[in-house]
Amino acid sequence: MLRVQQQHSLTHLNSFGFQSVAEYFFEIQNSTELPDLLTYCRQLKLPLLLLGGGSNVILSDRIPGVVALMAMKGQQIEFHDLHRVLLTVAAGESWHETVKYSLEQGCFGLENLALIPGTVGAAPVQNIGAYGVELKDRLSRVEVFDTQEQVMRWLSPSECHFGYRESIFKSIEAGRFIITQVEFSLTTHSDQLNLEYQALRETSEKYAAGDPITPLHVFDAVCYLRQQKLPNPADIGNAGSFFKNPRVNLQEYLQLKESFPDLVGFADGDAYKLAAGWLIEACGWKGKRLESVGVYEKQALVLVNRGGGNRQQIERIASAIQHDVEQRFAVRLEVEPRYYP
Ligand code: FAD
Ligand code: NAP
């Protein structure tokens, strides 16, 4: 028997801290509960929303249907060969604690992704990324419950169609798969570091103090840099970067660069990635407030709840920012977190 609760508050389960109530609420402790949960939703014709840490969602005050909190726990390490390690982690585990745990076991590769809020199961949904590393770079496979076929199966990285903050879980197959476990492919080599980002390289060097830089130095550097720049959702409600960094082609990039010589952009394959935070700041939005929400004063890409904000207010400020950036740079900013419903 499923223990479904009614009228359950989600206010402490979304990192914006918006007041929200789920019509029905259920905590998934084990993947064996999934078939019954699906049957329950189908029989009562209720939509299902999966929630991990709630750090990439924008919730309305009422969420119709069932909200299922991914609470499955557990991890397992298997040494594949001398240098390759397979780490399998249940969907409900904390992402940051998993990064810490992997390093404590002498398994490296996740250090650039430290301090990202949320759960392991949500990480493939937007192919989380930071400091030049994306989840897909360290992923071996993803275990899912396929709600269409009603079976558990493993998906390979190519089947997940990962892109920049994208995957099938967020796009073409949104709502079809419930991610139950993630298997990572990590290394015991401590010298395979990604230090492409200047600030990360410089801070890691400081932590290493003249010794060779290790994954633990990188982990400490990432935590330090993020704490300097990003608001802690426990203090100020937010969902991290609110917009994706837009892509333009070479010609568009050169035209923009001519008009705005300080523009921050990076070559990315045959396109250019523009720093959305720079575009927003250039439009004068950094630190501004509209009603009870605003733009964070240390990072213009982060929208914050100043207390008492809600989904409608975030939509209004996001539209105003999109409008201004489009008018000035002819570039459309795409929202990264998802609105519910
Ligand atoms: P939720 O917000 O609960 O859910 C996100 C989406 O995934 C929803 O659509 C939900 O339905 C779906 N989902 C959740 N669990 C599952 C599951 N098991 N199976 C299928 N679907 C599921 N993101 C980055 O990429 N890089 C960063 O550096 C980064 N930094 C951040 C910093 C801050 C301060 C904050 C607040 C957010 C940041 N984020 C970042 C965004 C966010 O932390 C990530 O997207 C994270 O993976 C979301 O995890 P979650 O458990 O909170 O997901
Ligand atoms: P930052 O290091 O100041 O960089 C600003 C922007 O420039 C970032 O958007 C980053 O792109 C890009 N960039 C910087 N150096 C680069 C390089 N060497 N090559 C390619 N692109 C480069 O950014 P920040 O705000 O302090 O964040 C640090 C990292 O954490 C970034 O990777 C950012 O994506 C990640 N982060 C993500 C979220 C989220 O919610 N998605 C929230 C906070 C931080 P990328 O964004 O593509 O890396």
Distance CA 341, CA 322 (A): 21
The pLDDT of 119-123, averaged and rounded, is 98
Query: Among the atoms of ligand 2, which is closest to the Cα of residue 196?
Result: 18
User: Ligand 1 pocket check: which of 30, 51, 55, 69 to mutate, most ligand atoms within 8 Å of Cβ?
Assistant: 55
What pLDDT score was predicted for residue 80? 79
Distance CA 230, CA 304 (A): 10
Distance CA 27, CA 71 (A): 6
Tens of pLDDT, residues 288-316: 999 999 999 999 999 999 999 999 999 99
The bound ligand whose nearest atom lies closest to the alpha carbon of 133 is: 2
Q: Whose CA is nearest to atom 47 of ligand 1?
A: 123
Ligand 1 neighbourhood includes 139 CB (under 6 angstroms) = no
**Residues flanking ligand 2, CB < 6 Å:** 129-131, 196-197, 199, 229-230, 240-241, 245, 264, 266, 273, 275, 299, 336
Task: Using pLDDT thresholds of 50, 70 and 90, give the confidence band for residue 81.
Answer: confident
Pairing mode, strands 5-9 and 21-28: antiparallel
What pLDDT score was predicted for residue 1? 77
Q: Whose CA is nearest to atom 17 of ligand 2?
A: 197
Tens of pLDDT, residues 194-249: 999 999 999 999 999 999 999 999 999 999 999 999 999 999 999 999 999 999 99
What pLDDT score was predicted for residue 65? 98
Q: Enumerate residues 6+ apart whose C-beta is below 8 A from 210.
A: none
The first and second tokens of residue 145, run together, are: 């419950």
The pLDDT of 121-144, averaged and rounded, is 98
Q: How far is the CA of 169 from the centre of ligand 2 (A)?
A: 23
What pLDDT score was predicted for residue 206? 98
pLDDT at 10 over 80: yes
Q: How far is the CA of 76 from the centre of ligand 2 (A)?
A: 31
Tens of pLDDT, residues 162-193: 999 999 999 999 999 999 999 999 999 999 99
Query: Among the atoms of ligand 1, which is closest to the Cα of residue 92?
Result: 18
